[in-house]
Amino acid sequence: MRRVLIALMLCCIASLALAQSQSFSSLEERMTAKDFREAGLDKLSDAELAALNAWIERNVRLADPAVAAAVASGQLPAAGAAAPAAAQDRVGFENERREEFTSSIAGTFKGWYGKTVFELENGQVWQQVEDDRYPMTVENPTVRITPGAFGSWRLKVDGFNRTTLIKRIR
């Protein structure tokens, strides 16, 4: 099992290195649910999974000498650096900044049911692209919006290990 996990992580790191110049996709976005479970990654807490993704992003980004030099000179932000507020207002629209961020949904959130519209406290409005369903009842949940492959975005409610594909509509 350990060899499979190591091989899988090396494969993920190698594939991430190819796509790393513009954005970072987490392990859960790059792996199928079955591969994620078989690798034992579903047993990690949210904090452990976030730390693993952050480590992979840092090390893959900095493995490219041009990226490392740009980060060192201040031309590129270091992994995890916050986007300026004005730039974050455009996050999610085509050809705009692609960085992970968090916000919250005011009031009672009952999950997603296919084409669900998510109105965030920061004023952004996103819509579910997939038809999957994931019921939950949570008050004022914090949500994490992360860039995915091919210009996609994923929404994750903190405390739940499930994401859905979304697009920004306002």
One domain for residues 155 and 128: yes
One domain for residues 37 and 106: no
How many angstroms separate the CA atoms of 143 and 164, rounded? 11
C-alpha angle 80-58-51 in degrees, rounded to nearest 5: 70
Mark which of 41, 73, 105 sits at the end of a domain.
73
Q: Give the closest residue to 19 by CA, choosing from 98, 130, 81.
A: 98
Q: What is the pLDDT of residues 70-87, one digit of tens each?
A: 656 655 555 545 444 444
Interval 127-144 mean pLDDT: 94
Encoded amino acid at 79, one letter: A
| Tokens linked to 151 | 């210009």
User: What is the extent of the structural domain holding 95?
Assistant: 85-168
- Between residues 103 and 69, which one has the greater pLDDT? 103
Overall domain count for the chain: 2
